Structures are given as structure tokens and as C-alpha cells.
Amino acid sequence: MTRQYGFDTLQVHAGSQPDPATGARQTPIYQTTAYVFRDADHAAALFNLQEVGFIYSRLTNPTVAVLQERIATLEGGIGAVCCSSGHAAQILALFPLMQPGTSVVASNRLYGGTIQQFTNTIRKFGWSAKFVDFDDIDAIRAAIDENTRALFCETIANPGGVITDLDAVARVAEEAGLPLIVDNTSATPWLCRPIEHGATLVVHSTTKYMTGNGTVTGGAVVDCGTFDWSASGRFPSLSEPEPAYHGLKFHETFGNLAFTFYGIAVGLRDLGMTMNPQAAHYTLLGIETLSLRMKKHVENAERIAAWLEEHPAVREVSYAGLPSSPYYGLKEKICPKGAGALFTFALKGGYDACVRFVDALELFSHVANLGDTRSLVIHPASTTHRQLTEAQQIAAGAGPDVIRVSIGIEDAEDLIADLEQALEKAMATG
């Protein structure tokens, strides 16, 4: 019987073998654009999708292939497609599902860039999004209509650290015969595996915790492999003849790997949002320590959130890892190992105090990123969520008085000392 390996083993070994040509134990960086075909028949078979192999690095690359298998394994999926960024992953996830005139029902608690992408950019494809409160299951049901093609949410919402009841949302998606897409960037598969809670597709910005060192951008889409793309007739890209491949039907031909094959053979081929092999290499290195880092991230975040909750300058802390959080019960169900290390807190001094606070920090880095080993800070209302209205900012948990922190793996005492001195300066008057 094949042994079922644990997470810590899989994050090091899944998808990789010693290099057959050299014996190299670490996955090599295959820095090449193209691959030599054995003969004309081999080339034809690859281009006809009759044989799996490497053609051109816009579609497939051996280094990226290892990363795809590793992420799919850690998430419990059948396959994965890696791409150039988290935003690219979102488009790549929607691309096989949508047609002009169709829509996605999305949580209103999403990363500001995602709200912008769904509000404005996807309209250029003829798609649209309906934003609803995913805490309100009836509101989700009410938003679904004949044009809906997917539901979309985040496991742990960026920036507010709100946890989605994935089981409840998945039941709504199943009732409607729709795929549920879950952005698992903030949680990572170490804290939550959304497929086990009913998700159809899982997307990641691998730029964040998966890589963990702030060096490269990347994204991934993982398919659960169990959704019936032919059942309703609503997903013709996967169920109907594909003109670019002489009428091949992806779901009929590739079964539970239909979405993954389409993502590579059509999505990457035509949209070109390719992950480069060096980025894949850095992310593979990062994933090897994912569980170790996430344990420290969570430990630090829990301690710092509790300290901030007691500080007189802080109006409130939004972190599901606090017993006072209304999402603490969901944390125990969806993310029992912890609520991650991304959360927000509101300052009593409002917008101006937030600006002074950010400028006064010394150890925290003021950057538009999260999931680094270093602790990071940003004021969403003046940066990542600046393009949104104040009402949208507040709905997303990023109001004018809100600070977002991504807690790193430094000594917690040092981080608290930095926060303390910055809060003093933020609240100083005169």
C-alpha cells in the first residue's frame, strides 16, 4: 500500500525527483524557451494534446511543472496551473467558465485589487460581478441567476482577517450547480484546504506565504477534479467542441483533468500569463519551509493581536484568532491551526493618526505586500484600497482609520516594541 505522507514531507518532496540527466537533488531551473521534439510525429501528438510533454515555455516548463504538482498535492487537488501573479490566477480561473454576459457572485470582503479587477477590468471581457456579504447565505442565494457562472471568496479575507464559512457557501454553490472558487492566499494549505470544505477551484498569489521571502510574483489555480463541467451546459468552453483543437471536447477527452488541461492548452497559450522558471524555483524553495513559517507567523500574530486589543490607542482589532472575534468559532472549524498572520486594527485618531503611525514604524516595512518573513504594514485606504469609495473600503474592512499588518517571524517582543513607539507618536498632539 502506498504510504499517505504528511504535510511536512509533501512540502519538501511532492512533484520532484532527482534530475535524470545529472542526479541533481534540488529541482533545476530549466531556463529554456523551447524543447526538441523526437520527430515530426512526436511534435504533432503534442500539439494535438494526444501526448503530454513540453513544447514551449509559455505553456509548460519542467521547473514550473514540479511546482504545479506540489501545490496541487498540498491542496488536495487533481492538478494545478501556475501563472505570473495572483491576479493572473483569478483571470485564469474564470476564463474557462465565463462568456460575454455572464457574472460571478463575489464576497464584498476581498483584496482591494480583486474588487477593482472584478468591478472594472473584467467588464472589458463582457463579464460582471455581483458583490454580496458572504456572511449572509440568503444574500448569496438571492444574487445567483441564470447568468451566474461561479461564486468567489477568500478563506481569510484580505485585509480584515475575516474567515468565510466555506462549508455553508459550498452548499449554496452545489445547490445551484456552480463552481466555488476560493482564494487561499492568506491561509495557505497548511491552515486550510478549501477543497475539503467543498471548493471547486483554489487560487493563490504564490507571491505571498507560499514563497514567503518577497522575491518573486506568481499565481496558481488548483482544480478539485470532481466538478461535472458537462452537466448543465453552462460551461461550453469545457463541455463543447473547441475550435482551436479541431472540435476536441475537453471534459469528454480529459475527464477530471479537463480544467487543468484547458488552463494550459488554451489559457496560458492565448493569454500568455506564464510563470517563469526562476520564479517557480524560488517558490519551491519557499514551500519547503511553509509549515514551519506558518506556525511562527500564527504564534506571533496571536500574541500581537491580543496586545493591540488592550492598547488604549486602538479602537478595535479584526482578527479571527482572538476569542472576542465574531469569527472565532469559524476559525475553529475552517482554520483550526490558526487564523493566519494578516489582520487589521483601527486607530482612535482616524486617517491622520494612521499616516503618522505608518511613518513612525522602524522594524515593520511599509510595503504593498503580505506573507513575507518580515513584518509588513500598510494603510489600505491611502494605498491598496485607494481606488474604492469610502463605503466600499468600509465594506471590505479597510476604512480610513484601519491599519493592515502582516506579522512576520521575528521576535514578538521586538515587534511589540516597534508598535508601541509608533502608537505613541501617532497619538501625540501639538
On the CB side of 128, CA atoms within 13 Å amount to 8
Q: What is the pLDDT of residues 396-406, one digit of tens each?
A: 777 889 999 99
pLDDT band, residue 2 (cuts 50/70/90) = low
Distance CA 396, CA 8 (A): 34
pLDDT band, residue 214 (cuts 50/70/90) = very high
Pairing relation of β-strands 180-183 and 148-154?
parallel
- Is the model's pLDDT at 426 over the cut of 70? yes
- Is the model's pLDDT at 318 over the cut of 70? yes
| Alpha carbon distances (Å) from 262 to 95, 362, 366 | 10, 47, 39
Phi, psi of 150 (to 5 degrees): -170, 160
User: Which pLDDT score, from 0 to 100, does residue 24 have?
Assistant: 92
The architecture CATH gives domain 291-427: Alpha-Beta Complex (3.90)
Which amino acid would we find at residue 79? G
pLDDT band, residue 429 (cuts 50/70/90) = low
Q: Are 8 and 17 in contact (CB under 8 A)?
A: no
- Work out the average pLDDT over 372-391: 85
Whole-number percent of the chain with pLDDT over 90? 89
- Is the model's pLDDT at 143 over the cut of 70? yes
| Alpha carbon distances (Å) from 228 to 91, 102, 232, 254, 266 | 21, 19, 8, 12, 19
Q: What is the pLDDT of residues 64-101, one digit of tens each?
A: 999 999 999 999 999 999 999 999 999 999 999 999 99
User: Which pLDDT score, from 0 to 100, does residue 391 have?
Assistant: 82
User: Which pLDDT score, from 0 to 100, does residue 430 have?
Assistant: 40
Q: What is the pLDDT of residues 56-66, one digit of tens each?
A: 999 999 999 99
Q: Kindly report the CATH class assigned to 10-286.
A: alpha beta
Distance CA 339, CA 154 (A): 13
Contacts for 308 with CB less than 8 Å, ≥ 6 apart: 314, 317, 345, 419
In terms of Cβ atoms closer than 10 Å to its own Cβ (0-12, 13-18, 19+), residue 69 is: middle
Whole-number percent of the chain with pLDDT over 70? 99
- Is the model's pLDDT at 385 over the cut of 80? no
- Work out the average pLDDT over 297-315: 97
| Alpha carbon distances (Å) from 3 to 7, 73, 77, 258 | 13, 14, 18, 27
Q: What is the pLDDT of residues 116-139, one digit of tens each?
A: 999 999 999 999 999 999 999 999
Q: Are 337 and 290 in contact (CB under 8 A)?
A: no
- Is the model's pLDDT at 346 over the cut of 60? yes
pLDDT band, residue 158 (cuts 50/70/90) = confident
Q: How many CB atoms lie within 10 A of CB 287?
A: 27
In the chain, where are the structural domains located? 10-286, 291-427
- Is the model's pLDDT at 395 over the cut of 80? no
**H helices within 83-136, ranges in order?**
86-94, 112-119
- Is the model's pLDDT at 390 over the cut of 90? no
User: Which pLDDT score, from 0 to 100, does residue 1 have?
Assistant: 37
User: Which pLDDT score, from 0 to 100, does residue 42 have?
Assistant: 95
- Is the model's pLDDT at 34 over the cut of 90? yes
Q: Are 235 and 102 in contact (CB under 8 A)?
A: no
Helix, strand, coil distribution of the chain in percent, nearest 5: 40, 15, 45
| Cell numbers describing residue 58 | 509559455
Radius of gyration of the chain (CA): 22
Q: Are 132 and 140 in contact (CB under 8 A)?
A: yes
DSSP 8-state secondary structure symbol assigned to residue 110: S
Q: What is the pLDDT of residues 242-284, one digit of tens each?
A: 999 999 999 999 999 999 999 999 999 999 999 999 999 999 9
Distance CA 289, CA 420 (A): 30
- Is the model's pLDDT at 176 over the cut of 90? yes
DSSP 8-state secondary structure symbol assigned to residue 137: H
- Is the model's pLDDT at 150 over the cut of 80? yes
- Work out the average pLDDT over 311-332: 95
Contacts for 6 with CB less than 8 Å, ≥ 6 apart: none
- Work out the average pLDDT over 313-322: 96
In terms of Cβ atoms closer than 10 Å to its own Cβ (0-12, 13-18, 19+), residue 421 is: middle
Q: Are 407 and 364 in contact (CB under 8 A)?
A: no
Mean pLDDT of the chain: 95
